[in-house]
Structure formats: C-alpha cells, structure tokens
Amino acid sequence: MRRVENIADMQRLADTWRAGGERIAFVPTMGFLHEGHLDLLRTARKMGTKSVISIFVNPTQFAPTEDFESYPRDLGGDLDLATEVGTDAAFIPPVDEMYPEGFQTYVHVDRVTENLCGRSRPIFFRGVATVVCKLFHAVKPHISIFGQKDFQQLVTIKRMVKDMNMDIEIVGHPIVREKDGLAMSSRNTYLTQEQRPVALRLNRCLKEAQKLVDSGERNAEMILKAAGDLLTTGGGATVDYARLCNPDTIEDVEVISGPTLLALAVWVGKTRLIDNCLLKAIKN
C-alpha cells in the first residue's frame, strides 16, 4: 500500500490512475480503524479498481470543548489493517498540509445540518463538509463510501455533492455492530466495563421502537417517550437527543407515515454515542 502525505502527490497518483482508466473508490476516516471501517474498505475494493483510505483527525469538526487532542490514534496499526484488506493507497496528510497558515474557506451545507447533531455540535458539519470537500479534491475519487451510523453526515455529503455538481457517487454502508449489538465506533474504546450495558440500550431502544411501530403506533411523541424511558431507566445515560426525522430532509416528523429515521445521541459518562435506524411502517 502506498502512503501519501501531501496533496499534490495524492492528486498526481489519482491523475495517473484516472489516465489508466482506473476507478477510484475512497473511504475517508479519522483512523483508529475497527471492523466497520474495514468493511467500508472491502466494499471500496469491490466497487472500484483502486481503493484509497484517508486517515486524518480533522480539527475543524471538533469544538474546543471536544476530544480532538484525546481522540484515539494508532497510525501504525491502521496502516497494517488497511494493507491487510488490500487497500491501494493511504492518504495521511499532516494538519498543516490540510489547513496551512491563512486558510479561511469553509463549506456550509444548510438545512440538513440544522437538526440532530447540528443542534448539539454547531460547528461539526461545517468541519466535516469542508474536510470531505478538500479530501475529494486530493483523492479525486469516482465513488466514496460512508457509514450509515453517521446518517446525517451521509445526507450532508450527498447534499454537498449534488449541490456543488461534484462528479462523485456517494454510497451509504449499513451500520456494522459488535456481537452484542453496539454500533462500532472508535469512541467505544472510551467505555468502561460498567458502561457497556448502558451503551447497549441504544440498539435495544431502536428495536423496541420498531416493535411499537409494528404494533400500530404512529405517533412520534409516544415512540420518543418510550425511547427516552428505555435509554434512561437504570441511570448512567443522558440523552442528547432522540428524534424521529424524515431521512431525506432530516426534519422532525410528528406522525410516521413512511420510512422514518430514529436517531439517537446519548452520553454514557464522558462518551457520546450515536446510533440510528430507519423505522418501517407496514400498513396494518
């Protein structure tokens, strides 16, 4: 696997591949890779003829109070794992390569970023859209794959690509879970043994909500009340949000009539976990 640290070299490699008729499939990450990332990389290998991972902990998507400094990092381990799954190149720019002195241009995606994580992390999506835009210009992919765990991020990137006429196919990849149902996340490493069962409430909550819908419940308030109870009973968890949204617009819905996103963000101790599912309302 090639390691590329600067943007000009990455662009040259991408140009050479493109000139040779290769199809570049790209997985942007912040590293500390887990099975979920590896699944994205395997998918990239299948969907393209050259696969690229970026490993870059992006400072502009962290608020000053958040965990940028302490975000888990293991570049050596990540490069080994990416090599093992057959990735062709790793783009690993230093921070000052991506944000040199004088940097002052940001990408703002509007309405789809307002709800959910946009409420509690007001600068997050500006940072994500900006860095993904920059990574796209460096890697020049034909296709890029994002996990559905960050559902609002996926919708935001799709919106940016469409609105800015970027000729890139964006693919959403299903959430990869641990055996016990916890959605895989680099931040799971922060959880203590005692916090783990608390963290499992998120996935349970998604399943219970689908059961409620299956039994005929369509009222968002009722479903969210049950979700809130399930998440907090027993203590140890603080709900940042539990919301039912239209999966395209990310606007709240009051009544479930079609596929509806149930999105959760919950603090378990100092760890903020997110999870989601698309609730399906089968007519009964």
Q: Which residues of this protein are in contact with ligand PAF, per CB under 6 A?
A: 28-30, 58, 61, 128, 131-132, 150, 153
Q: How many CB atoms lie within 10 A of CB 18?
A: 15
CB of 61 to ligand PAF, least distance (A): 6
Helix and strand counts by DSSP (H, E) for the chain: 10, 9
- In the complex, the smallest distance separating the C-beta of residue 22 from ligand PAF, rounded to whole angstroms, is 23
Nearer to ligand PAF, 153 or 195 (CB): 153
Q: Which of 37, 108, 137, 173 is catalytic?
A: 37
> At its nearest, how many Å lie between ligand PAF and the CB of residue 54?
7
> From the CA atom positions of the chain, what is the Rg in Å?
19
Cα separation, 241 vs 280, whole angstroms = 20
Between 176 and 224, name the residue whose CB sits nearer to ligand PAF: 176
Residue closer to ligand PAF, measured from CB, 156 or 227: 156
| Residue 141 vs 220, nearer CB to ligand PAF | 141
Give the C-alpha separation, 225 to 208, whole Å.
12
Element of type H or E holding 126: helix 124-139
Q: How far apart are CA 283 and CA 120, in angstroms?
A: 34
Task: Give the closest residue to 106 by CA, choosing from 122, 89, 92, 83.
Answer: 122
Residue 267 CB, nearest approach to ligand PAF (Å)? 19
Alpha-carbon gap, residue 49 to 24, rounded angstroms? 6
Nearest one of 171, 166, 24 to 107, comparing CA atoms: 166
Within 10 angstroms of residue 257's Cβ, the number of other Cβ atoms is 11
Q: Of 66, 69, 70, 75, whose CA–CA distance to 3 is shortest?
A: 75
CB of 131 to ligand PAF, least distance (A): 5
Q: Which is nearer to ligand PAF, 72 or 236 (CB)?
A: 72
Q: Count other C-beta atoms under 10 Å from residue 50's C-beta.
A: 23
Instruction: State yes or no: is 108 an active-site residue.
Output: no
Of residues 55, 65, 36, the one with CA closest to residue 124 = 65
Nearer to ligand PAF, 154 or 220 (CB): 154
Pick the closest to residue 282 from 232, 221, 210 (CA basis): 210
Question: At CA 90, angle to CA 87 and CA 96, rounded to 5?
Answer: 165
CB of 153 to ligand PAF, least distance (A): 6
Which residues are tagged catalytic? 37
